[in-house]
Structure 1
Amino acid sequence: MWKSLVAAIAFLAVGGSAFGASATNKDAETRTLVVTEGGGKTELALAAGETAEFCPTGCFVTMPNGDLEALTGSETIEISGGVARIK
């Protein structure tokens, strides 16, 4: 019983993070997204070649060029040439 409970908690912890939006920086320099979620703003700095998951339940994202986009949590953002595109 105890092992089943631990396995279920581990599955939910890993599975929950797999459903967020993701952003990949294909540029040679760091790019920053501003994520607004639950009333709070966070800067997400992505180094060259880095990919990060965020926003599991929806958020607003300010792109490097200043555009504001609403995300549901399943999108992929690709940054290339200083421009972010939602795929």
Structure 2
Amino acid sequence: MAFNKVGFILFVILSGAIIMGGNMKSVDGKICPQICYGAAYMTCPSSCDEHLPPLCNCCIAKTGCTLYNDDGIPICTAQ
């Protein structure tokens, strides 16, 4: 009787994990630091170098995008 309860609980947990797992997006394997540079703006090749609202750091920006300080000095470029 105890085995049936444990088996049922495991079944519910695994079923939920499978259902929830179908909604998750894959990650490209980058490990991003939890550091926010406080950039003033960002430019990206896809926006014709228009000044865009900056992201927190280059790790989460699209490839080729560059974050800049207030004085226009580049902080980093996304790889």
* TM value normalised by structure 2: 0.36
| Higher percent of residues as helix | 2
Q: With structure 1 as the length reference, what TM-score do the two structures score?
A: 0.35
Larger radius of gyration: 2
